[in-house]
Amino acid sequence: MNSPLLPSLRMELQQLPPRDEVSGIEPLYIPIEWMRYCEVCESEQCFVAWERCATGLICRCSKCGDERIAPFSRSHSVAVAWEAYT
């Protein structure tokens, strides 16, 4: 039940950079749930992620079933050492 104006999960996955692994998607052993704005429902809904890929979590709206990639918001950088902040 995807809106034609919004990109689908398949389109988002096709935009990922190619990976050396057989599958760029791996399952999560413990699902992650959080509240997020759903563009299809036009309201805050509970999203559940069962899988992750290179750019984020693959999640689904618990109300309408719309699937999205929730990008990772934090990253670990080895370029700046911790000592630089002290």
What confidence tens digit (pLDDT) does each residue in 64-86 have? 999 988 888 765 555 555 555 54
Mean pLDDT of 44-56: 90
48 confidence band (pLDDT: 50, 70, 90): very high
Rounded (5°) CA angle 61-48-4: 30
Q: What's the pTM?
A: 0.58
